[in-house]
Amino acid sequence: MEGRGDSILNTVERYYKDYGLRARELRNEGRRLTGYVCSFVPLEIITASGCIPFRVRGDIHEPITTGDTLLETIVCPYYRSCFDLSVKQKYDFLSGMVIPHGCDSMVRSFSAWSYSLPFPYFHFVNIPTVCDQSSIEFFSAELNTFKKSLERFVGKSITEEDLAKAIRVHNENRDRVRDLYEFRKTDPPLISGTELTRTLTVGSSLPVDEANGLYDRVSAEIKQRERSPVKKGPRILIDGACLDNVELIKLVEELGGSVVADTICNGARDYFPKTDIGGNPIDALARRYLEKVNCPKTYRANRAGTFEGDIASRFGDTGVYAKEFKVDGSILYLYKYCDPFGFEVPARKAYYKSINVPLLHLEDVYSAGTMGQLRTRIQAFLEMLG
């Protein structure tokens, strides 16, 4: 990534606004980029194949038009926006697309993606919705199928050593993200939520080693800071699915809150769980993605036997982050038609009550046009937190 001026965060902002800038350069250099959505595509296998994983994102400023002529409108607006930008050729530098069984929207629309886009490679990763030994075995077999399909596409085999190396570098990537989250622990935080989400968004459009270099440069710059970029205010956790446009976070920060933690897909959900090293790499990946990525799509049996025990085990990570980042309140930000998260709202609310963290639940349509309506509700919530 080329820097301009003396601040790496200015460079991040430029790459965030022109998403795919580096990817286009890489494609012109002859590299193959494989698009993906969701937290469940094992990026390590794509990296091990020599392709570059590229997270396809939506744009809340762009009205969904062409995409809606090809896809049902009861699919969630975030995913429709990703599809809309893709069919408008924003991501025409991609060589392929990988979609996992993250939710019904993804399953049902896979054929629309593969029918509407000219990429030579498409793959659907089947993911179990329960988490037991037979599911791990099934998922390992699915990941082997995914590996073989990539091998056919790139024309070379992916060795255990390639996989082990990719697992290592993706784990290093997650360590660096954790380091960036550490800057959120001061009060006020040394890095704003807007800056952090922008940085991670840009990182997910880069080869993993370049993303590691970027995170190092951002960390070095933040360490030099003497003051926080945001005022001291209520410390907020953002809970929800994929939040790849920073407008909501920016709004919270403009209104005096500090976004210091999250559970979002392009945040803690993706980056906090690491893959175990040693042993069979495919089995380790199966375990990481199924057991450690905490998403409502994976049903975890109620071993506690009580409602209280069940919600504590399903949403316990949120409570851990709330404590670790000294959160004053949480905003549960969900998209209309997002069934996996939507079904869980009552249980999630009960969990927040049990840990005494005030909660604001917002349902939105993935559009910059709704930020005005959200402003009043967020302002009232922040005032209540004091």
Binding-residue total with ligand SF4 (CB under 6 A): 12
Of the two residues 15 and 333, which places its CB atom closer to ligand SF4 in the complex?
Answer: 333
Q: What backbone phi and psi angles, to 5 degrees, belong to 46?
A: -65, -45
Q: Does 298 bind ligand SF4 (CB under 6 A)?
A: no
Q: Which of 16, 19, 78, 351 binds ligand SF4 (CB under 6 A)?
A: 78
Q: Which of 163, 242, 261, 332 binds ligand SF4 (CB under 6 A)?
A: 242
Of the two residues 56 and 177, which places its CB atom closer to ligand SF4 in the complex?
Answer: 56
CB of 366 to ligand SF4, least distance (A): 9
Of residues 302-361, which lie at the interface with ligand SF4 (CB under 6 A)?
335, 338, 340-341
Q: Which residues contact 171 (CB under 8 A, 6 or more apart)?
A: 274, 275, 277
Tokens 């993993």 label which residue? 208
Q: Does 105 bind ligand SF4 (CB under 6 A)?
A: yes
Write out the two tokens for 259.
Answer: 């976004």
Smallest CA-to-CA distance from 218 within 256, 179, 188 is with 179
Q: Provide, for the chain, the percentages of residues in helix, strand and coil under a 3-state DSSP scheme, each rounded to the nearest 5.
A: 55, 10, 35
Strand partners, 345: none
Of the two residues 47 and 105, which places its CB atom closer to ligand SF4 in the complex?
Answer: 105
Q: Which of 97, 99, 103, 214 binds ligand SF4 (CB under 6 A)?
A: 103
Q: Does 124 bind ligand SF4 (CB under 6 A)?
A: no
Of the two residues 78 and 315, which places its CB atom closer to ligand SF4 in the complex?
Answer: 78
Q: How far is the C-alpha of 368 from the C-alpha of 213, rounded, in Å?
A: 31
CB of 295 to ligand SF4, least distance (A): 7
CB of 300 to ligand SF4, least distance (A): 17
| Helix/strand/coil for 330 | strand
Q: Which of 96, 102, 267, 273 binds ligand SF4 (CB under 6 A)?
A: 102
Contact 154, 50 (CB under 8 A): yes
Of the two residues 54 and 78, which places its CB atom closer to ligand SF4 in the complex?
Answer: 78
Strand partners, 333: 240, 362
Q: Report the Cα–Cα distance between both ends of the chain, in Å, rounded.
A: 41
- Contact pattern from residue 193 through residue 232 relative to ligand SF4, giving x for each residue in contact according to CB under 6 A and a dash for the rest: ----------------------------------------
Of the two residues 74 and 220, which places its CB atom closer to ligand SF4 in the complex?
Answer: 74
CB of 103 to ligand SF4, least distance (A): 3
Q: How far is the C-alpha of 328 from the C-alpha of 20, rounded, in Å?
A: 36
Q: Which of 45, 46, 71, 76 binds ligand SF4 (CB under 6 A)?
A: 76
Of the two residues 75 and 260, which places its CB atom closer to ligand SF4 in the complex?
Answer: 75
Contact 341, 241 (CB under 8 A): yes
Q: What backbone phi and psi angles, to 5 degrees, belong to 297?
A: -70, -25
Q: Does 241 bind ligand SF4 (CB under 6 A)?
A: yes
For 305-336, give one letter per residue: b (16+ CB within 10 A) or e: eeeeebbeebbebbbebbeebebbbbbbbbbe
Q: Does 58 bind ligand SF4 (CB under 6 A)?
A: no
Stretch that binds ligand SF4, among 61-69, 76-84, 158-166, 208-216 (CB under 6 A): 76-84
Of residues 18-57, which lie at the interface with ligand SF4 (CB under 6 A)?
none
For 54-67, give one letter per residue: b (16+ CB within 10 A) or e: bbbbbbbeeebeeb
Binding residues for ligand SF4, per CB under 6 A? 76, 78-79, 102-103, 105, 241-242, 335, 338, 340-341
